[in-house]
Amino acid sequence: MRRGLSLLVAEGTQPRLHAALSLAVASAALGRAVAIFFQGSAVAALEAGRVWPADAAHRAAGSPTIADLFANAREMEIGIGACETGIHLANLSADRLIPGVETTGLIAFLAAHGDDEIVMA
């Protein structure tokens, strides 16, 4: 059986997030199990309703926006986890995150995905 792919997102800038989500969606499209964990300040990227400055440029180029990629990830059943400490550091609460995000910790994430290929994004 093919190893899963687990992405650890430690920085929530748009270019890194777009690349991480694109990698996740493409890997899932190829049949790979994928999970994403947002740690620390990267959790702010999960705030519902967030507008990303480069989304218009992506849309104009025919590339998916961040919201599109999150929607694709949900449709493909990619697990998305948010660091509980990161939620507090970002002054958020679980009910202010995009739909489908599980609040968890790094140890629990690694325990569930420790046999996966783990990539820092």
Q: What is the mean pLDDT of residues 45-49?
A: 95
**Binning pLDDT at 50, 70 and 90, where does residue 53 land?**
very high
pLDDT at 52 over 80: yes
Domain that holds residue 111: 5-120
Amino acid identity, position 53: P
pTM of the model: 0.94
CB 83 within 8 A of CB 101: no
Q: What is the mean pLDDT of residues 89-112?
A: 95
Give the CATH number for residue 14. 3.40.1260.10
CB 7 within 8 A of CB 24: yes
Tell me if residue 82 falls in helix, strand or coil.
strand
pLDDT at 114 over 90: no
pLDDT at 1 over 70: no
CB 8 within 8 A of CB 39: yes
Distance, CA of 70 to CA of 75 (rounded, Å): 9
Q: Domain count for the chain, please give it.
A: 1
